[in-house]
């Protein structure tokens, strides 16, 4: 592959690449809300068309939820399977957005140009770095240097309900030597990174019910149990004062981080002060005796993601509601078993529930944590490619979030995954005003070209 | 007054009275939500027209919020000032209503016919018992037996922000010997009641803010404080394990219920078991060592009326929200001072708030508790009138809810209030499927005729 020519091609066509990304960003592909089902479909259709245009043999694959986009440049077993997701998080609270979340704009900021839109970083902008890399290689070389499959799903933000059956049902077609995923971040704006571990996740939705109907708090208050008070007690009881999660056997399977990895992380010169300041905070919280990087990369958590009940609109209503609700998620590490923890969590709440209360649990998916060896050829070649592009030594980092696909690739397709991404800490993923740096987008595509060149040589 | 003829007139025109009430029930006069401002206005206009039709000199009085309806049958100082409110509670959760809340229907139930609609009991049905009583007396006698003013407000369910300035500004026009209010209940479906004490109320809305934006719980969870967890802790800390409210000096001004009143209440043969069973409950909660009637009528409370934050829609969003919210109200008794308690409450929360958190409080009105002597002529004549109509000895009861107007009448107009109402425990006030028994509506109007006859004789 003539690397210089391909990179030059990317530089010259940057404007068109941005235009294409803008088109994708305009689809309101919010998978968590059924009312955007059509928008998800349109985003998938657009991607399918793109891939066909580039020369892939691509098609939409129907699922029980949003469709998959599956493409190949060759009929045979692929060398690399690239995965991304075209669905995005909801935009609420919408009032905090300074621009329309689905009308992408390029803004000049003190840290350079950024693309502002929901999904700019997670994951539309990131997946397009790979698509643009392929486009440029094809334009210059006429063909790709290896056999590549691409899989785009539209349910990543809702725990991928269709993914496992899809992988199971298309094992042969999806087979590959290695998977590539672009859904992670850089260590800092100058330092490219490969993510070598990911936390797992378990999420639960609970509803508790006490009195058989909403009650007037004047006529009944003081003599009946209030579900909001009970829920607050249940949730307050999920943590101990030292920050530990207060569920029996929760820490079973949690391993001590290796001193090797801890040393590497120390070298990153992470500034807790800066990290907190950027969030409007000054005090470290969470488990005592652990550094912030350990808390984020190698310790499990329990977080309340939603809590509601009673009258929550403008004004006041003196009601004792009959029900209260919460959405709760856990980040898992090491060998923690999501299903065991789910059981312990439910048992605990059932035991703490006062008389006359019912509790119902809604299943959301669980996934274990993942760890990769950092010593493989693939890892070291990818690291070199990133180092070349960014002119700064690439680093191995841990990932706080979950990318369940990685686990599924290993378990169903027997494939390990290279996690490379160009998102930055201030990209406001899952928050209002999400953005993706133009530099991430452009140098991301260039990085993939370099990675593909190096990895092809290993074949 | 020819009592028999007037009561007969009411019996004969029952169908028309129901038709008129249905018209009033159709207005969506939800005062707590600004989007129903027009509907509130229309309800006021309708009442104004009714009163003019009956022969009152009536007009709408503008306020900063919803208008007042003020009517007189005589220019001079009224003997009695009747008060009611035409605004209603919100209808949420609307999905639990079996009929449209603003399309009243008459339903046959095992406890007789009921009028089903939002506001049927609180307070449209109740205020119309008095209006219908006046209409019947006028129809038969040509005039009322005494000087009567009527005042209907449209902001009772939002703590009456316009009421005090209105009373202050119309002191002369509103002057009367005694106030009459129909916004309370019967002891049971057979036993008419006069409410001789009311709890006061204080309500607060709080917002806490931690991180400066919503965060991804995977990328940040474990190392940043979660406002939902903090809010749960704050709320769980508002009560002690024995049910007492955990705010410094909260019980200052709370008096022991007199043994006289306690004896009277014992005679009511209240069944705690039945009370709880009707609510789907089996266990008594709240302050230990107090009977349920004491808890409801003579003990103060703290109730959470609304609680929310994070992602509360369908699906899942792994967010650590930057903010959390709660609506909290207190019922007050004896000489508890709402403003002192507000201060203590705010201090307590401010002290318990962790580092890096802000808290804001939104003022909602506070009102003290009220108690009336049960030995006055007015009280005893009213009791006789009710006993005559219902053929069961009327009783004095406590009221758990607040009717701040009573306090304002005493403080601003120097007038005591007779609280008579015909609502029943199962009327589902403030809940879905609110209803008012047809019997309450009809015998309520007959009761007012009897009361007006007896009270006029005292003049």
Strands B112-116 and B435-437: what pairing?
Answer: antiparallel
The secondary structure of A254-311, three-state, reads CCCCCHHHHHHHHHCCCCHHHHHHHCCCCCCCCCCCCCHHHHHHCCCEEEEEEEEEEC
Per-residue confidence (pLDDT) for residue A401, from 0 to 100: 78
Chain B residues in contact with A279 (beta carbon < 8 A): 211-213, 215, 220, 224
Per-residue confidence (pLDDT) for residue A269, from 0 to 100: 86
Chain B residues in contact with A216 (beta carbon < 8 A): 401, 429-431
Cis previous bond, B335, omega within 30: no
| % of chain A residues with pLDDT over 70 | 100
Per-residue confidence (pLDDT) for residue A316, from 0 to 100: 84
Chain A residues in contact with B228 (beta carbon < 8 A): 235, 304-307
C-alpha to C-alpha distance for B333 and B400, rounded to whole angstroms: 9
> Confidence band (pLDDT; 50, 70, 90) for B265?
confident
A7-11, A31-35, A356-360, B147-151: lowest mean pLDDT where? Answer: A31-35
The beta-carbon neighbor of A327 closest among B226, B310, B324 is B310
Of residues A404 and A49, the one with the higher pLDDT is A49
Task: Put residue A423 in one of left, alpha, beta given phi > 0 → left and psi -120 to 50 → alpha.
Answer: beta
Bridge partners (DSSP) of residue B185 are B423
A305 with B311: Cβ contact below 8 A:
yes
For A39-56, what is the mean pLDDT?
Answer: 98
Look up residue B375 and give its DSSP letter.
Answer: T
Is residue B326 predicted with pLDDT exceeding 90? Answer: yes
For A266-280, what is the mean pLDDT?
Answer: 92
> Distances from the Cα of A258 to the Cαs of A255, A331, A371, A375, B327, in angstroms?
9, 19, 12, 15, 47
C-alpha to C-alpha distance for A418 and A177, rounded to whole angstroms: 11
For B184-203, what is the mean pLDDT?
Answer: 93
Per-residue confidence (pLDDT) for residue A98, from 0 to 100: 95
> Is B211 near chain A, with CB under 8 Å?
yes
Among chain A residues, the shortest Cα distance to B122 is held by A216
B428 with A213: Cβ contact below 8 A:
yes
**Predicted TM-score (pTM) of this structure:** 0.78
For chain B positions 145-164, those within 8 Å of chain A (CB to CB) are 157-159
Best of A198, A221, A294 to disrupt the B interface (most B CBs within 10 Å) is A221
B222 with A296: Cβ contact below 8 A:
yes
Chain B residues in contact with A203 (beta carbon < 8 A): 316, 318
Is residue A366 predicted with pLDDT exceeding 90? Answer: no
Tokens for B350? 């401010």
Handedness of CA B294, B296, B298, B303 (dihedral sign): positive
In sequence order, what are the residues at sequence separation of 6 or more whose Cβ sits closer than 8 angstroms to the Cβ of residue A417?
A: A83, A178, A179, A180, A181, A372, A405, A406, A409, A410
Q: First CA to last CA across chain B, in angstroms?
A: 14
Helix (H) or strand (E) holding B364: strand B358-367
Q: Could you give all domains of chain B from N- to C-terminal order, each with its CATH number?
A: 3-198+370-458 (3.40.630.10), 200-256+270-367 (3.30.70.360)
Best of B36, B91, B241, B304 to disrupt the A interface (most A CBs within 10 Å) is B304
Q: What is the mean pLDDT of chain A?
A: 95
Strands B193-198 and B370-371: what pairing?
Answer: antiparallel
For B114-125, what is the mean pLDDT?
Answer: 98
* Strand, helix or coil for residue A175: coil
C-alpha to C-alpha distance for A190 and A391, rounded to whole angstroms: 8
B316 with A400: Cβ contact below 8 A:
no
Highest mean pLDDT pick, A126-135, A183-192, A255-264, B85-94: A126-135
A218 with B401: Cβ contact below 8 A:
yes
C-alpha to C-alpha distance for A67 and A152, rounded to whole angstroms: 9
> Confidence band (pLDDT; 50, 70, 90) for B400?
confident
Is residue A361 within 8 A of residue A341, CB to CB? The reply is: no
> Distances from the Cα of B400 to the Cαs of A53, B365, B369, B415, in angstroms?
72, 17, 10, 22
**Shortest Cα distance, chain B CAs vs residue A273, angstroms:** 12
Chain A residues in contact with B295 (beta carbon < 8 A): 222-223
In sequence order, what are the residues at sequence separation of 6 or more whose Cβ sits closer than 8 angstroms to the Cβ of residue B49?
A: none
B323: buried, middle or exposed (CB in 10 Å: 19+, 13-18, 0-12)?
buried
A223 with B320: Cβ contact below 8 A:
no
Q: What is the mean pLDDT of chain B?
A: 94
Is residue A63 predicted with pLDDT exceeding 90? Answer: yes
Among chain A residues, the shortest Cα distance to B317 is held by A305
Per-residue confidence (pLDDT) for residue B219, from 0 to 100: 86
Tokens for A142? 């006429």
The beta-carbon neighbor of B429 closest among A210, A216, A311 is A216
Per-residue confidence (pLDDT) for residue A266, from 0 to 100: 87
Among chain B residues, the shortest Cα distance to A159 is held by B316
> Is A289 near chain B, with CB under 8 Å?
no
For chain A positions 367-406, those within 8 Å of chain B (CB to CB) are 399-402
The beta-carbon neighbor of A314 closest among B33, B217, B300 is B33
Strand order in the sheet with B193-198: B370-371, B193-198, B395-399
For A435-446, what is the mean pLDDT?
Answer: 98
ipTM of the complex: 0.78
For A44-51, what is the mean pLDDT?
Answer: 98
**Shortest Cα distance, chain B CAs vs residue A142, angstroms:** 40
Best of A187, A219, A222 to disrupt the B interface (most B CBs within 10 Å) is A222
For chain A positions 335-364, those within 8 Å of chain B (CB to CB) are 354-356, 364
For B67-84, what is the mean pLDDT?
Answer: 96
B317 with A430: Cβ contact below 8 A:
yes
For chain B positions 160-189, those within 8 Å of chain A (CB to CB) are none
CB atoms closer than 10 angstroms to residue A359: 16
> Distances from the Cα of A1 to the Cαs of A129, A144, A279, A323, A443, in angstroms?
18, 9, 44, 63, 18
For A442-448, what is the mean pLDDT?
Answer: 98
Chain A residues in contact with B231 (beta carbon < 8 A): 232, 307
The beta-carbon neighbor of A281 closest among B306, B356, B399 is B356
> Is A98 near chain B, with CB under 8 Å?
no
> Is A199 near chain B, with CB under 8 Å?
yes
A319 with B299: Cβ contact below 8 A:
no
A305 with B317: Cβ contact below 8 A:
yes
**Shortest Cα distance, chain B CAs vs residue A453, angstroms:** 31
Angle, in degrees to the nearest 10, between helices B227-236 and A227-236: 120
C-alpha to C-alpha distance for A350 and A344, rounded to whole angstroms: 10
Measured at the CA of B84, the angle between CA B80 and CA B86, to 5 degrees, comes to 150
A356 with B303: Cβ contact below 8 A:
no
Per-residue confidence (pLDDT) for residue A263, from 0 to 100: 84
> Is A365 near chain B, with CB under 8 Å?
no
Per-residue confidence (pLDDT) for residue B373, from 0 to 100: 80
For A51-74, what is the mean pLDDT?
Answer: 97
For chain A positions 17-76, those within 8 Å of chain B (CB to CB) are 31-34
Which of B170, B159, B68 minimizes the C-alpha distance to B367?
A: B159
A316 with B309: Cβ contact below 8 A:
no
B308 with A307: Cβ contact below 8 A:
yes
C-alpha to C-alpha distance for A413 and B73, rounded to whole angstroms: 87
C-alpha to C-alpha distance for A438 and B286, rounded to whole angstroms: 59
A316 with B364: Cβ contact below 8 A:
yes
**Shortest Cα distance, chain A CAs vs residue B327, angstroms:** 7
> Is A235 near chain B, with CB under 8 Å?
yes
> Confidence band (pLDDT; 50, 70, 90) for B63?
very high
For chain B positions 318-337, those within 8 Å of chain A (CB to CB) are 318-321, 324-327, 329, 331
* Strand, helix or coil for residue A356: coil
* Span B211-241, pLDDT tens digits: 999 999 988 999 999 999 999 999 999 999 9
Tokens for B144? 């009322």
Is residue A85 predicted with pLDDT exceeding 90? Answer: yes
Chain B residues in contact with A354 (beta carbon < 8 A): 283, 285
Using only C-alpha atoms, what is the Rg of chain B? Answer: 23
Tokens for B199? 């709890």
B310 with A307: Cβ contact below 8 A:
yes
Among chain B residues, the shortest Cα distance to A329 is held by B318
The beta-carbon neighbor of B303 closest among A32, A34, A221 is A221
C-alpha to C-alpha distance for B343 and B363, rounded to whole angstroms: 11
A355 with B89: Cβ contact below 8 A:
no
> Confidence band (pLDDT; 50, 70, 90) for A373?
confident
Strands A176-181 and A200-209: what pairing?
Answer: unpaired
- What are the strands, taking DSSP E only, across B88-146? 105-109, 112-116
Per-residue confidence (pLDDT) for residue A397, from 0 to 100: 92
In sequence order, what are the residues at sequence separation of 6 or more whose Cβ sits closer than 8 angstroms to the Cβ of residue A90?
A: A30, A32, A33, B311, B313, B315, B317
| % of chain B residues with pLDDT over 90 | 84
Which of B207, B163, B175 minimizes the C-alpha distance to B80?
A: B175
The beta-carbon neighbor of A307 closest among B283, B309, B331 is B309
CB atoms closer than 10 angstroms to residue B269: 7
Chain B residues in contact with A325 (beta carbon < 8 A): 312
């Amino acid at each position: 592959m003539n690397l210089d020519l391909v990179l030059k091609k990317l530089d010259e066509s940057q404007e068109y690449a941005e235009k294409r990304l803008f088109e994708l960003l305009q689809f309101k592909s919010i998978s968590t809300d059924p009312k955007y089902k059509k928008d998800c479909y349109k985003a998938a259709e657009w991607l399918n068309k793109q891939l066909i245009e580039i020369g892939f043999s691509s098609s939409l694959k129907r699922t029980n939820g949003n469709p998959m986009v599956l493409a190949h440049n060759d009929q045979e077993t692929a060398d690399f399977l690239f995965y991304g997701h075209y669905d995005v998080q909801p935009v609420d609270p919408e009032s905090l957005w300074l621009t329309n979340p689905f009308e992408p704009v390029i803004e000049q900021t003190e840290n350079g140009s950024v693309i502002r839109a929901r999904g700019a970083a997670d994951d539309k902008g990131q997946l397009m770095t790979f698509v643009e890399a392929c486009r440029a290689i094809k334009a210059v070389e006429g063909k790709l240097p290896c056999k590549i499959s691409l899989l785009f799903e539209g349910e990543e933000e809702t725990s991928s309900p269709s993914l496992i059956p899809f992988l199971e049902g298309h094992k042969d077609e999806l087979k590959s030597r290695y998977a590539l995923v672009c859904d992670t971040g850089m260590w800092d704006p100058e330092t490219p990174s490969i993510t070598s571990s990911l936390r797992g996740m378990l999420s639960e939705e609970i509803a508790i019910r006490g009195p058989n109907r909403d009650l007037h708090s004047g006529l009944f208050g003081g003599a009946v149990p209030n579900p909001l008070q009970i829920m607050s007690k249940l949730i307050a009881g999920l943590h101990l004062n030292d920050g530990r999660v207060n569920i029996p056997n929760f820490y079973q399977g949690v391993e001590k981080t290796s001193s090797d990895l801890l040393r590497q992380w120390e070298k990153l010169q992470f500034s807790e002060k800066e990290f907190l300041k950027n969030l409007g905070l000054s005090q470290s919280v969470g488990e005592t005796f652990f550094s912030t990087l350990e808390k984020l990369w190698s310790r499990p958590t329990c977080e309340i993601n939603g809590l509601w009940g009673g009258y929550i609109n403008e004004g006041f209503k003196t009601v004792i509601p009959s029900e209260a609700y919460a959405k709760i998620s856990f980040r898992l590490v090491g060998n923690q078993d999501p299903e065991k923890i789910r059981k312990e969590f439910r048992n605990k709440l059932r035991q703490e529930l006062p008389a006359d209360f019912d509790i119902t649990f809604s299943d959301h998916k669980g996934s274990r944590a993942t760890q990769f060896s950092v010593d493989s050829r693939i890892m070291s070649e990818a690291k070199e490619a990133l180092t070349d592009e960014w002119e700064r030594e690439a680093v191995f980092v841990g990932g706080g979030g979950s990318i369940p696909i990685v686990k599924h690739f290993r378990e169903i397709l027997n494939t390990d995954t290279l996690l490379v991404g160009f998102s930055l800490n201030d990209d406001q993923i899952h928050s209002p005003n999400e953005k993706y740096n133009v530099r991430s987008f452009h140098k991301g595509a260039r990085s993939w070209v370099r990675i593909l060149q190096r990895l092809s040589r290993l074949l």
